[in-house]
Amino acid sequence: MPDAYELSPEEERWCADVRALAAGRLRPLAEAGTPGEANRPLVAELGEQGLLERVFPVDGPAVRAFDLCLLRESLARVSTEAETALALQGLGACPVAQAGTKEQQARWLPEVRAGRAVAAFALSEPDAGSDAAALALTAAEAPDGWRLTGTKTWISNAPAADFYTVFARTTEGAGSRGVTAFLVPADRPGLTGEPLAMLSPHPIGTLRFEGVPVGPDDVLGETDRGFAVAMSTLNLFRPSVGAFAVGMAQAALDASLTWAQEREAFGGRLRDLQSVGHTLAEMATRLEASRLLVYAAACAYDRGAPDVAKRSAMAKLFATETAQWVVDAAVQLHGARALQQGHPLEHLYREVRAPRIYEGATEVQRGIIARELYR
């Protein structure tokens, strides 16, 4: 990967192939799904087409952050639902791939790769969203392990997932040092949940744990070291959240360029108005800056750079904030038609808001950057 973050011809072709696949096979399945519910046919097709295996290779090292970013950006330009389905599989199963035992990996990763098992990452709680270290879901000691009691909320793929990566407090008063990660199959007694109706209808819900049994074989990594498992996953996925935002922003810019060339207004085409041209130029410039930050953060992660946390936070912060602005500008250029239900920009306008909050809100990213600067 060159320092200038220029894609090679092979990478360009691969991204084009992913976009074509998304348009031909994934988008129809996404559109046929029920809003707010896990789309298992779509997840299965992601497995059938080998995209989930790109995230969790059968042999060799784990996915490169750069490849994950290219994949998410390419999917997002065509189908945000397909992108989200892949990202949620990655987020939910990444802790298993990174910290799981051979037995845990053998049980679940083949099912995830094939799109037969739906995964979920259960970190957030009603009073521990941005402040993830304030987890209150307790893991009380029992003769055969622990009993989980409490609530998780805003959990993607809940309550329809087949297994959950759950972060629970095993040592009171220890902050982030007293959290353990558990792999919890959905059929464990005492585990229930219900879906939440959100602005953008993704499969998101609440989970309730009423003495859910877990044992030593369910621990991911080490006891009381689960926060490191969570942060390792988020450091990998935060640049790719930026890539998701870049893909949406590119789709909005593409639509705006087409519209500006086709739309007749004020005695000419929109593209002939200086104000429109300047807006498009600003959209393109901010988008390119976002893309470069995302690629730089992904490359830093792949080479094990010491400033990965800062770069990942910068990429997510700038790309998600930029995507919000670009999509809003695109809606303004299109006028009222872009506000109609079913218009691609109406869809993007709802989709683009959430990434500024999940996996660490904008304010959290600024806090991370400031902390790393002081180091």
Residue 59: its pLDDT value, please?
A: 82
Structure tokens at 3: 């320092």
Question: Residue 126: is its pLDDT beyond 60?
Answer: yes
Question: Residue 79: is its pLDDT beyond 80?
Answer: yes
- Preceding amide of 159 cis, omega within 30: yes
Residue 4: its pLDDT value, please?
A: 55
Rounded to the nearest 5 degrees, what angle is found at the Cα of 236, between the Cα atoms of 326 and 370?
A: 70
Residues in CB range of 241: below 8 A, 6 or more apart? 87, 316, 319, 320, 355, 358, 359
* Three-state DSSP state, 124: coil
254: closest CA among 76, 9, 67, 7?
76
Q: Is there a single domain that holds both residue 96 and residue 47? A: yes
What's the full length of the chain, in residues? 375
**How far, in Å, CA of 149 to CA of 136, rounded?**
9
Residues above pLDDT 70, as percent of the chain = 97
Question: Residue 75: is its pLDDT beyond 90?
Answer: yes
Question: Residue 60: is its pLDDT beyond 70?
Answer: no
The number of folded domains in the chain is 3
pLDDT, tens digit, 9 for 90 and up, residues 224-266 = 999 999 988 988 888 999 999 999 999 999 999 999 998 877 7
Q: Domain range for residue 70? A: 9-118
Residue 74 · residue 251 · CB < 8 Å = no
pLDDT, tens digit, 9 for 90 and up, residues 290-342 = 999 999 999 999 999 999 999 999 999 999 999 999 999 999 999 999 999 99
Residue 1: its pLDDT value, please?
A: 47
Q: Which of 172, 196, 227 is the last residue of a domain?
A: 227
Band (202; pLDDT cuts 50, 70, 90): confident
Residues above pLDDT 90, as percent of the chain = 82
* CATH code, 46: 1.10.540.10
**How far, in Å, CA of 134 to CA of 150, rounded?**
13
Residue 175: its pLDDT value, please?
A: 80
Residue 326: other Cβ atoms inside 10 A: 28
pLDDT, tens digit, 9 for 90 and up, residues 261-274 = 988 777 778 888 89
Residue 266: its pLDDT value, please?
A: 77
Q: Is residue 3 part of a domain?
A: no
Residue 234: its pLDDT value, please?
A: 87
**How far, in Å, CA of 186 to CA of 48, rounded?**
24
Catalytic positions are 359
121: closest CA among 143, 144, 149, 152?
152
Q: Work out the average pLDDT over 173-202.
A: 91
Residue 124: its pLDDT value, please?
A: 92
* Three-state DSSP state, 138: strand
Band (40; pLDDT cuts 50, 70, 90): very high
Mean predicted lDDT score pLDDT of the chain: 93
Q: Is there a single domain that holds both residue 62 and residue 168? A: no
Q: Work out the average pLDDT over 107-129.
A: 93
Pairing of β 145-156 and β 219-220: unpaired
Residue 61: its pLDDT value, please?
A: 65
Q: Which of 71, 88, 118 is the last residue of a domain?
A: 118
Q: Is there a single domain that holds both residue 18 and residue 155? A: no
* Three-state DSSP state, 192: strand
pLDDT, tens digit, 9 for 90 and up, residues 130-181 = 676 788 899 999 999 999 999 999 999 999 999 999 999 999 888 878 999 9
- Would you give the DSSP letter of residue 178? G
In the chain, alpha helices (H):
9-21, 27-32, 40-48, 51-55, 65-78, 80-99, 102-114, 226-262, 274-302, 308-334, 344-351, 362-374
Residue 132: its pLDDT value, please?
A: 64
Q: Is there a single domain that holds both residue 208 and residue 264? A: no
Question: Residue 2: is its pLDDT beyond 70?
Answer: no
* CATH code, 206: 2.40.110.10
Distance (Å) of CA 151 to CA 93, 124, 205 = 20, 9, 11
Question: Residue 16: is its pLDDT beyond 80?
Answer: yes
Q: Is residue 2 part of a domain?
A: no
List 208's β-bridge partners, or say none. 151, 192
CA atoms within 13 A on the CB side of 29: 18
**How far, in Å, CA of 313 to CA of 328, rounded?**
23
List 192's β-bridge partners, or say none. 208
Q: Which of 178, 197, 227 is the last residue of a domain?
A: 227
**How far, in Å, CA of 223 to CA of 254, rounded?**
48
